[in-house]
Each structure stands twice: as structure tokens, then as C-alpha cells.
Amino acid sequence: MQIAMIGTGYVGLVSGACFSEFGTTVVCADKDASKIERLQAGEVPIYEPGLEDLVTKNAAAGRLRFTTDVASAVAEADVVFISVGTPSRRGDGHADLSFVFAAAREVAAAMQGFTVVVTKSTVPVGTGRELEAVLRESAPQADFAVVSNPEFLREGSAINDFMRPDRVVIGTSDPRAQDIMRRLYRPLYLIEKPILFTTRETAELTKYAANAFLAMKISFINEMADLCEQVGANVQDVAQGIGLDGRIGRKFLHAGPGYGGSCFPKDTIALVKTAQDAGSPLRLIETVVAVNDDRKKGLSGRIVGHCGGSVEGKTIAVLGLTFKPNTDDMREAPSLNIISDLTAAGATVRAYDPEGMPEARKLLPQAVFCNDAYDAVTGCDAVVIVTEWNEFRNLDLKRLKSRMASAIMIDFRNIYDGVTASAAGFTYSSIGRPRP
């Protein structure tokens, strides 16, 4: 069995490397020649723990190859995964499928023998059907089946999520395609992971429903945190108190600065559009989107409030820039709102992130980038923790304070507690917890 993985972005690269680790031969194809050259040299262009080792190991074993020649990768393949980008379309928020259909036309021109064409990218309901029509039109004689197999990978733990998923969802009614997909995921049957076979539309919608539900949990607990602040309750205890109820579950109930990243913001908006177009609006998810947008826009206001009503002429340290730890991804990160709004309000921002700074330098030229947390707080009036990287969890708070002009700590991830921060001399505020 051989796989062609079209698109070596985050999803394609992780999935390709993991399938090759399962023992299948994988050829990853991408139009971006410089990216392919780097990958051929064993250099992984994204930061994802464990990925570089996996790529190097399987490339050396001959199971994982990289090419710009999409046609020959497809011609040799039994299964073609389409894992190109599906960004938000400018103007209307729908997923932009132009890359998916461009890839489909190339696949149509090159596929030989029975070929399973799988959408791995997150695509709106009905895309599989459209894809099938495009392939049929371009290659009327070809023997193929179109399958939806959405990914549920989290950045930062993508390899583990692929190797030990909660479930795999496969949408197809074609028995030959079902058989091939079953063989592809055989290693997961061996460790008794559920593989759900369903229709294509159901698989496509399941992916959006999962992301929308998780985003809803986050917006729920974020609003609850705001209420906790007003009534003197503790959101972490509320989250635990409800999360221990197995029907609710403890995960994704961490209050914070609002969700970001490449999936939740884009997919919730795309699902809202799909539902509106289908005449069956999802009012809950529309509100989730609005709650999250407002939250991110309000972050700088919270900081200004904690700094006595104005940040003009003040210097603020921002620790953590990526949308979450263990990634270099800055997409939709709350730090983007915070830093642009604070600098617009007349503050100087000194920023540090363990992996996100190359990208952040391009997006936030107005910030001063520093070497570590202690360097970032030097001379600052306040320090704001925006991303919960492990290296921020155990800072020497006394040393931190000694470098600052005044000791205000705003902890948007609740990684410290009021007692510890106050003992080090900080005026401390966090999310949804009573002030010390």
C-alpha cells in the first residue's frame, strides 16, 4: 500500500510521518520547492514536538519521501490524502476551497488504477460530493472513491493524538474504500481505538461539530469566569465541581484569554455560515464566536484597568505569544490583540516567547523582543502572562520583581496563585478567581 499526501502543512506532514511510522510507504508532495528541499534535508519547517525525529527516522528507512512531483506521487498511490489549506475566505468567512479543488484536478489527471481520494483538510459538509464531481468531470474513465477522514490533532501533541486517537472517523459508503481505510488504520485496531465508519456528510460535519463543541466549552467557562470575578467565586473550583460530573468532563474548562489557533476561530465561523446557508442557524455557536471575539478585544482593557486606568508611557512585559504552548503558531493568538491595543494606547511592550518570536517579529513590529522572561520584565510596570509555557510556570518571582519598576502581575492563564505571587511582592490578578 502506498500513500500520496498532498500538502506538507501541519496536518499533511504530521499525518504523513505518522502513517509512515505505521509501516506504510508515504510520498509527501508539495508545490513549494524550497519547503520540499528543506524536508529532503531532514529539516522540519514547523515546531511540533517529536516530529523531526519521526521524519528523519522514517525517511532514513525509505518509507517517507518528499517531492514536488504531485503527478508521479499520485500515479503510484493507492490512497491520496488531500491536506492542503482551507483558510477563511475573505469577506464571507466561508472556508476557501480553491486549494482543495486545484489539488483535485491534479489528482484527476494523474491517478491510475483504483484510487481512494481522502479529504484530510477540514472541509465543509458537501465538499466530498463536489470533489467527486470535479474528479469525475476531469477523469470520466477513472476508478476512484472519495472519502472524508477528518483529523482531530492538537498542535503540540499531534503525534500522540495521531498514534493514540480517541477515535478515527471515516466517511464513505464504498466497500473497497472502507477496506483500504481499515487496512491503513490497522495499527489502531490493534490497540482497540474506535474507528467509526459513516457517510461522507456525517464525517465532514462531525469534525466541525467537535471543534464547535470544544469552543463552546471554552466560551462557557470564560463567561463563567467573568461572573466569578463579580460575585467572588473561584472558576477553577467551579470547573472542577462541574467537570467531575462524567456527563460534563473536566477537559477544555480552563478559563483564559479566549481561544485562538488555526482551527477553532476559522471552523466555528465556517460552521455558522454553513448552518445559515442551510436555513438551520446554530445560534449557540454564533454566540460562542461573538463571546470569544469580544473577550480577545477586551483583554487590553483588563490590563489597563489593573494598571490604574492608563498605560500611556508605561512599559508592559508580555510572556507568551503563541496561541498555546508547544507550538510556534501565532494564528489568532490573543497576544496579537493585546500587543496592538496596548501599543496603540501608548505603552511600550517587551515580549518573549520560547518558539513564537520569529513569526511574532513579522506580525508585531511595534514590540521589543527579549531573550527570556527576566529580560522581558526589566524596567516594566506590569507583567502579563498570556501563554502557559512550562518555562513560565516556575519563575523565580522575587528575581522577576526585583527587575521591575512596579510589581503588577496579570496572569491570564492562572498558572500562579494569589498567595505565592503576593508573597513575592506582586499585586496579582488572574482570571475568575478572587483577589488575594
Window contacting ligand UDX (CB under 6 A); options: 113-121, 133-141, 148-156, 350-358: 148-156
Closest to ligand UDX by CB, 128 or 265: 265
By the rule CB under 6 A, 254 interacts with ligand UDX: yes
- Of 183, 121, 68, the residue nearest 131 (C-alpha): 121
Q: Return the residue matching grid coordinates 438551520.
A: 280
| DSSP H or E run through 418 | helix 418-423
Q: Grid coordinates representing 117? A: 481520494
Provide the 8-state DSSP code for 22. Answer: T
Which residue in 101, 114, 252, 374 binds ligand UDX (CB under 6 A)? 252
Give the nearest distance from C-beta 137 to ligand UDX in angstroms: 31
Give the nearest distance from C-beta 69 to ligand UDX in angstroms: 29
Window contacting ligand UDX (CB under 6 A); options: 18-26, 151-159, 180-188, 289-297: 151-159
Catalytic residue among 18, 28, 263, 307: 263
Binding mask 193-212 for ligand UDX (x = CB under 6 A): ------------------x-
Q: What is the rounded distance in angstroms from the CA atom of residue 353 to the CA atom of residue 47?
A: 13
Q: What is the rounded distance in angstroms from the CA atom of residue 198 to the CA atom of residue 110?
A: 28
Q: Tally DSSP H helices, then E strands, for the chain.
A: 18, 14
Q: What is the rounded distance in angstroms from the CA atom of residue 408 to the CA atom of residue 302?
A: 13
Closest to ligand UDX by CB, 35 or 324: 324
Q: Give binding residues as ranges.
A: 30, 35, 86, 122, 152-155, 207, 252-256, 260, 266, 324, 331
- Of 433, 406, 434, 436, the residue nearest 421 (C-alpha): 436
Closest to ligand UDX by CB, 7 or 77: 7
Give the nearest distance from C-beta 157 to ligand UDX in angstroms: 8
Binding mask 294-333 for ligand UDX (x = CB under 6 A): -----------------------------xx---------
> Is residue 126 classed exposed, middle or buried when 0-12, 13-18 and 19+ CB atoms within 10 A define those classes?
middle
Contact predicate 280/242, CB 8 Å = no
By the rule CB under 6 A, 415 interacts with ligand UDX: no
Which residue in 154, 193, 273, 306 binds ligand UDX (CB under 6 A)? 154
**Whose CB is nearest to ligand UDX?**
263
Beta strands 195-198; 315-319: pairing state: unpaired
Contact predicate 108/181, CB 8 Å = no
Beta strands 25-29; 64-67: pairing state: parallel
Closest to ligand UDX by CB, 302 or 324: 324
Q: Give binding residues for substrate as ranges.
A: 152-155, 207, 252-256, 260, 324
Give the nearest distance from C-beta 433 to ligand UDX in angstroms: 15
Give the nearest distance from C-beta 329 to ligand UDX in angstroms: 8
By the rule CB under 6 A, 218 interacts with ligand UDX: yes
Q: How many residues bind ligand UDX (CB under 6 A)?
A: 19
The residues with which 64 forms a beta bridge, in sequence order, are 26
Beta strands 382-385; 79-82: pairing state: unpaired
Window contacting ligand UDX (CB under 6 A); options: 52-60, 70-78, 152-160, 392-400: 152-160
The residues with which 88 forms a beta bridge, in sequence order, are 95
Give the number of other Cβ atoms within 10 Å of residue 272's Cβ. 24
Q: What is the rounded distance in angstroms from the CA atom of residue 19 to the CA atom of residue 3?
A: 8
By the rule CB under 6 A, 165 interacts with ligand UDX: no
DSSP H helical ranges for 167-282? 175-184, 186-190, 200-231, 235-243, 264-277
By the rule CB under 6 A, 151 interacts with ligand UDX: yes
Q: Grid coordinates representing 175? A: 466497500
Q: Grid coordinates representing 274? A: 454553513
By the rule CB under 6 A, 426 interacts with ligand UDX: no
By the rule CB under 6 A, 392 interacts with ligand UDX: no
The residues with which 12 forms a beta bridge, in sequence order, are none
Q: Give binding residues for NAD(+) as ranges.
A: 30, 35, 86, 122, 155, 266, 331
Interacting positions 262-281 with ligand UDX (CB under 6 A):
263-264
307 in catalytic set:
no
Provide the 8-state DSSP code for 95. Answer: B
Give the nearest distance from C-beta 86 to ligand UDX in angstroms: 12
Q: What is the rounded distance in angstroms from the CA atom of residue 182 to the CA atom of residue 153?
A: 19
Give the nearest distance from C-beta 296 to ligand UDX in angstroms: 10
Which residue in 21, 30, 155, 328 binds ligand UDX (CB under 6 A)? 155
Enumerate binding residues for ligand UDX (CB under 6 A). Answer: 151-155, 211, 214, 218, 252-254, 256, 259-261, 263-264, 323-324
Active site residues: 263
